[in-house]
Chain A
Amino acid sequence: MISPLFRALVEREFKNRFLGGVLSPIWWLVQPLLQLAVYALVFSVFLKIQLPEKYGTSYLAFLAVGLWPWIAFTESVTRGAGSLIQQGALITKTQLPRAWVPLATVSVSFSLHFAALCVIVLLLASLGLGINAWGIFASLPTWFALYLAALGVAWFVSVAQVVIRDVEPMLGPLLFLMTFLAPIQYAIEIIPKDFRAYVYANPFTHAIERMHEVFLTGPALPGLTDMYLLLGGAATALLGYVVFKRVAPHVDDYL
């Protein structure tokens, strides 16, 4: 049973994103499609990036399945960082459970991007681009692990942002760097062997690889990777929550 208060908060979060515009109801889909088109143009048409054979023939499919979970993560963290400040009027004047604010932000980001990826996958599958549509189900543990990780980081950065204020501007470049340290726009095989260790040191590499597995290369069945990812996500969420619980009651002093 979801608390009606949390539901109201989520509703508000949805509306915050799509308030007023004519295209509001379809932005959640149009925006990622446009983004995908830009990436495809740059990487596939201009830069002519070649994929190893095992990923199939469609760069678009390769890009989409890796990019969407990552967008969900980065967007959650960036929005989460500013969420307490954005809802400052609400949390400093009412008894709203504070942990719900980043939780709502992250939940909305993930549900929107998950929905968007489902649509894209079904679209690409129906175009016969060699994507495994059943991967949608097999990718759920990975999505959930990323969701938990995003939640933990969002809890941490949201309170850190209120007290320190320098956090949000640093997040952009940092996440941008991590975008390139994960095999999203390129296949890991392109990286010279000596440097691959660095890319594998990025925990998100494993999540992205798993996405490639379930949608493109197989096997799609749940495996050990899913378990490691979930454990990592849960640990991050827990750590973020502990810090949040300690700092959040005092954020009024800094808002």
Chain B
Amino acid sequence: MSALLSVTHVNKVFPRTNRGAGLRAFARLALGRVNTEGFSALTDIDFSVNKGESFALVGENGAGKSTLLKIIAGVLQPTTGSVARTGTVGALLELGAGFHAEYTGRENLKLAAALQGLVGGAFDEKLDEIIAFADIGEHIDAPIKTFSSGMIVRLGFALVTAMKPDLLITDEVLAVGDESFQNKCITWMERYLSDGGTLLLVSHSLYHVKKLTQRAVWLDHGKQRLLGSSHDVAIAYQTFHEEKQSKAKADAMDIDEAMLGQYAVIKLHIESSDSNGLVATGELRSRDGRRPQVAVGIVRADGTPVFGTTSEIDHHPLTEIGPGRFVFKVSFFDWRLLPGSYRLKAHAMDPEGMRVYDTVEREFMVSGKRRELGAVDIRREWT
């Protein structure tokens, strides 16, 4: 396969634009020296995209995704490193990029098309098609400043559909526009992809990432944190987010402070786990010697409960192995959990199964290539 795009050790440093720094900066640039001091927006980005193999960039706000896209589109120069492109490139970088508010939709289209190499008769031929796709009607001859943001995006996207570039670069533009236009775009993109087009996508929608692309890179503070299949990257990125959120969120479980230590989980061990189930063992301590109950539950990495039960609900008393020491072993099987990162939780409870005294957690992963959403693969039938 031939590389449509090669990004080779790209670094980007934005100079700090302090007042008064300009004269020195200008002299340095005019003498042809590269400025390597300042804010490092991208560090050693290195990957390539083959023809027909769509690619996604994921990462938090400020991770450098848009900067990287601009460099790839040839709009911004990398400080060091290089970007090589073969074939035509169409870029949808920002809402109405390059559009001038005072000009009409038609005039703006003309310049935007010329910028992408579509001129003269070829442009006139495509114009009706573009206007029809954008669904803008007679507004095309009104100044852009009277357009809604959705209309501007539609116009930009419509132009790209007419260009059919070898590589299409989009930056979150699908987030704008109404439902029906989004669907139109997705439909177009799927056809474009099946016709052999290559997409380079920035999206916060992991659904779109998994649906539209095969490979992805996760950018974290300008560095390449993970490069791999869209599926793996999406899961790792999602897990990272869920963990970040759960840290911020206090444990919702109500623990009785005064009675703390009366009953406690002193051991919790996941013996085995795979995509079908899990076997866990644990030990509880009871200060007063009474037989405690144990609650076991499965939550997603962000703390969203998936399932929970207790030894009391299931009528399975814990086994006493010594004074105040009780053990349990529980197997979950055929659980149909979707791929992702989860936690097993065990809570020590009083013998009545009323109050929670202690919580211990263990993480585990469910791997797989499935693309359904949510936590559980609910059985279904289409008729």
Contact = CB atoms under 8 A, between A and B. Distances in A.
Contacts of A5: 111, 114-115, 119
B29 A250 contact: yes
B29 A247 contact: yes
A253 B12 CA distance: 10
A32 to B, nearest CB: 24
A13 to B, nearest CB: 12
Given A4-B114, A8-B110, A94 B100 contact: no
B71 to A, nearest CB: 10
B115 A94 contact: yes
B25 A163 contact: yes
Contacts of A253: 14-15, 17, 35
Interface in A54-105: 89-90, 92-96
B40 to A, nearest CB: 13
Given A93-B75, A93-B93, A95-B75, A163 B119 contact: no
A108 to B, nearest CB: 16
Interface residues on B, range: 20 to 34
Contact of A15 (B23, B91, B103, B112): B103
B119 A246 contact: no
Contact of A95 (B17, B74, B110, B120): B74
Contacts of B250: none
A250 to B, nearest CB: 6
A166 B115 CA distance: 31
B115 A164 contact: no
A249 B77 contact: yes
Interface string B100-134: 10110000001110110001100000000000000
11 contacts: A5-B114, A8-B110, A9-B111, A15-B103, A94-B75, A95-B115, A96-B98, A164-B22, A247-B29, A252-B75, A254-B15
Interface of A: 4-5, 8-9, 12, 15, 19-20, 89-90, 92-96, 159-160, 163-166, 243, 246-247, 249-250, 252-254
- Top 7 nearest A-B pairs (CB, nearest first) are A93-B97, A164-B22, A4-B119, A163-B26, A249-B77, A247-B29, A5-B114
